[in-house]
Amino acid sequence: MIIIMLGAPGTGKGTVAGFLEQQLGFKQVSTGDIFRKNIQEGTELGKLANSYMVKGELVPDDVTIQIVVDRLEQPDVQKGIILDGFPRTVAQAEALNTILAKKGQKVDMVLNLTTPEEEIIERIVSRRVCENPECKTIYNTIMNPPKQEGICDKCGGKLIQRQDDNEETIKARIATYMEQTSPLVAYYQKQGVLRTEEVSQRIGRLGKDIADDIAGEIKNGNH
């Protein structure tokens, strides 16, 4: 089963995908994590990706698509995969559909998350991530703080703030998303696989609530 996460930065795509991974056993694959790993290791791909990411711009299609295609071939995603951060453009979505069709596969669900912009900015500025690559648990110093400041509850790793988690870059990323990525909502709506959910403290519905509902439906064979 193939699930795609859509939504502006800070809507909680990674959090929802993480809960779905725990409940369903589908592998969460984030292109952002792949890029960050390469950046930390100083690879050529990492240097190239970072030159775009620090400005709040998107990494070019040809680089991103090759990473995802290689990842789809690996054995740990054959039961199911949750793509977080890809596709970002209609061109990427069309390329993905073509690749999947050759393998006799298709996108089963596109989960589109929405959150008011002021909540997004507050959420991202307050976000901390476990630097342990095997853990990567996400915390929020306001909504979901760790028991001990700066320390991961799960593995004891150090919590860090990502370089691009600042207000100026966030606003640039939201603008980029609206311009280039939001047409995907219409694209997948036409294909009949889109599901839109609002994640917001204002309505008291957070990522875990959405993940619980979807996991229950999938387990009951409703997708």
Given 36, 123, 136, 173, the catalytic residue: 173
Given 127, 128, 136, 195, the catalytic residue: 127
173 part of the active site: yes
13 part of the active site: yes
205 part of the active site: no
Given 71, 162, 205, 208, the catalytic residue: 162
Instruction: Give the span between the Cα atoms of 115 and 8, in whole angstroms.
Output: 8
Treating both helix axes as pointing N-terminal to C-terminal, what angle do 90-102 and 183-191 enclose, rounded to 10 degrees?
40
> What SS3 state is found at 92?
helix
- Length of the chain (residues): 223
Given 88, 128, 136, 195, the catalytic residue: 88
162 part of the active site: yes
Q: Which amino acid is at 217?
A: E
Beta strands in the chain, from DSSP E residues, in sequence order: 2-6, 27-30, 81-84, 109-114, 127-130, 138-140, 159-160, 194-198
Given 13, 27, 123, 136, the catalytic residue: 13
Residue 192, token pair as written in the block? 């009949």
128 part of the active site: no
The answer to whether 165 and 138 have CB atoms below 8 angstroms apart is no
Total Cβ atoms within 10 A of residue 131: 14
Catalytic residues: 13, 88, 127, 162, 173
